Amino acid sequence: MNPLRFYFVCGALIIGGNALAQDVLIVHGSANYFPDVQAKIAGTGAFATVDIFDATQATPLLADMQNYDAILIASDGAFSDNVALGNRAADYADGGGGVVVCTFAFHSPGGALTLEGRMKTGGYLPYLGAGQGNLGNNGILPVLANHAILNGVNSFNSGTSGYINTVTLEPGATQVALYQDGVTEMVATMETNGARVVGLNFYPPSSDARNDFWDSTTDGALLMANALEWAGDACPLGDMDNDGICDCADICLNGDDTVDTDLDGTPDDCDTCDQDPLNDWDGDGVCAPSDICLDSDDGTDSDGDGVPDGCDLCPTSNPDDGDGDGECDSGDSCVGFGDLIDSDGDGTADGCDPCPLDYPDDSDGDGVCDADDLCPGGSDVLDADLDTIPDGCDACPNDILNDADGDTVCGDVDVCPGFDDLLDTDTDCVPDACDPCPEDAFDDIDGDGVCDSDDLCENFDDNIDSDGDGKPDDCDPCPLDDPDDTDGDGVCDVDDVCPGGNDAKDGDEDGQPNDCDPCPRDNPDDTDGDGVCDMDDICVGDDTVDSDSDATPDDCDECPLDALDDSDNDTVCDSDDMCDGFNDADDADGDGNPDGCDPCPQDDPDDSDNDGICNSADDTPQGDDAKKGGGGDCGCDSGPGGAAGWLPLMLLALAVRRRR
């Protein structure tokens, strides 16, 4: 911690750090501008040490923070660990450290830009954060004019940008000041369990860092210093003048009670004669050690030369007679020089002539004599780009290189540095050298990385070519086929039903193109599954089975075993025919032997006595007619011309016929 210090708090002695020389730490989220903040706060003279810590690279430890009386936290970039920073800052505040939080640490939602952790969730912050706002050229409107944070703060200007967070006051917070608009929060405090936190709703860097930040000629630095002193103050009731004497015991509220040079009991800051214990014994308002003219009023010095009028030879001249011409300077036309020397004859002595060789002196009023003027008629002192050519005579007043690429376009507005801005083939306002597609006004309208003039497939991605045939998918009729349609039937190969044939031709409309349809005229193709198309089918059955080879398949052949089927047309297949050449159905005697093959078609039985004579013609049905008259049973003729001669022949013929 800091060197040991003593506080007088309403009669009690408190041991602590030196209130006259607090040590403070600036913890920031952007290294670009915060050296300016460090310089401004140090410049107030209120602190012994003003250190700076870049929290974009690391997070200060609690032990690091505890080396300081107060810390100021602000951001303009991502904290290395905004949660850890918020937790440690809360621990630091719990231990008596003062915390000041500035824009943009209130930003929400701000990601790593925002101060998170217990500082945000534990009720330490006086403001509820929101987004970014701008309040250009706005001043301060005190709410608690006597608050120590506003001590000596007489002016504030937020700058042209006026960066703020659009915050709202948290419950329990104390509103100290608003912006001059009377609405926007500017300064507030929050005291939680003895921890002091100040919210300053402006971005700490000044216009010395960037010209649109808060005006450095106003009291922004003092406001930050007061906030740090108040937050880090060990006096519970305050020590407005930071002299180590709490206000309740302070003799000189606006000065350092510990300094009393003349030991008259009045601190120097409240002692009109701090080195004169008798306090202006001659009553002229000038303390004795500083009294120049003891016999007159030192307060009267008409010429302000430090010599009171009562002791001044030339009371209205300062210096009295600087040029030694014996006349008080108050009557001298050119004090300090010879009045008669006027080289340019302009009526002003050279010694008092800013341009002794010029008449008129400075015709363009830029503070540079005409003889030395770089830019007659313009201001030599205005040189925005610092190229030694005054703006009024500089073709490119904001370009130190003055159109380095020679395209007649100044560098500060050059669209394509290093190249000719005037060359724009496609007139898209992007010079050719910086135009990825110099011949295309819309460059790459479909965003596929191929300029429109080279685009194979406009409005689609040229890079997607699934079949690698050189045609982008969105312009490829067959994006999955290379080649697309080998057989030229208008159907992509991947979808082709009949590769090599025309899918569009399907005469029988069975879904099989003719070129791949075994039966292009049949739907269905082969109903009976015999390998013969229906249109060519002889038999609804198996055409390939023809046992009798008569060209009529068995399934449709009434006589599948007979080539001639029923040659005698008696409705009996030849293989089953009892009497070829005759009608098997004709059987007059009902003996089962068709008439055409029955030797005795009218007899059943045919020849009961087996004499070769049908019963109906047999004279002796029970005897052998062949023996009749010849010694036979009935005397029938048995000679060659008789029945006994021809009947055996008939029976033999019938037997032979049956075998066929």
Residue pLDDT, tens place only, 423-455: 999 999 999 999 999 989 888 899 989 998 899
The reply to whether omega before 109 is within 30° of 0 (cis) is yes
Which of 649 and 385 is assigned the larger pLDDT? 385
Over residues 610-623, the mean pLDDT reads 86
Each as own residue / partner, the long-range contacts of residues 521-529 (CB below 8 Å, 24 or more positions apart, any chain) are none
- What's the pLDDT at 572? 92
Residues 6 or more apart whose CB falls under 8 angstroms from that of 609 comprise: 618, 620, 621, 622, 623, 624, 625
pLDDT score of 644 more than 70: no
Cα dihedral 150, 151, 152, 154 in deg (nearest 10)? 30
Two structure tokens written together for 158:
């937020």
Question: Is residue 1 scored above 70 in pLDDT?
Answer: no
- Alpha-carbon distance of 250 to 240, in angstroms, equals 9
Residue 122 has pLDDT above 60, yes or no: yes
Q: What are phi and psi of 185, to 5 degrees?
A: -65, 140
What mean pLDDT do residues 514-538 have?
90
Give the H or E element holding residue 649.
helix 643-659
pLDDT tens-digit series, residues 306-320: 888 888 888 888 888
Residue type, 535: M
Residues 26 and 71: beta-carbon distance below 8 Å: yes
Amino acid occupying residue 557: D
* pLDDT value at residue 634: 44
Rg of the chain's alpha carbons, rounded to an integer? Answer: 65
Tell me what pLDDT residue 539 has: 92
List, for residues 3-12, the tens digit of each pLDDT value: 333 333 333 3
Return the pLDDT at 653. Answer: 53
- The answer to whether the beta carbons of residues 174 and 188 sit under 8 Å apart is yes
- The residues pairing with 165 across neighbouring beta strands, listed in sequence order, are 132
Provide, rounded to the nearest whole percent, the portion of the chain with pLDDT above 70: 89
**Is pLDDT of 637 > 50?**
no
Is the Cα dihedral 199, 201, 207, 210 positive or negative? Answer: positive
Mean pLDDT computed over 13-36: 72
Q: Give the tens place of pLDDT for each residue, 73-115.
A: 999 989 999 999 999 999 999 999 999 999 999 998 768 889 9
Q: Burial of 454 by CB count in 10 Å (0-12 exposed, 13-18 middle, 19+ buried)?
A: exposed
Of the listed ranges 220-229, 300-309, 505-514, the one predicted with least confidence: 300-309
pLDDT at 346: 87
The per-residue DSSP string of 225-292 comes to HHHHHHHT---TT--TT-SSB-GGG-SSTTS-TT--TT-SSS-GGG-TTTT-TT--TTSSSS-GGG-S
All structural domains of the chain, each given as residue ranges with its CATH number in brackets, are: 4-231 (3.40.50.880), 292-359 (no CATH), 603-660 (no CATH)
Chain CA centroid to CA 420, Å: 33
pLDDT at res. 651:
53
> Which tens digits make up the pLDDT trace of 600-616?
999 999 998 999 999 98
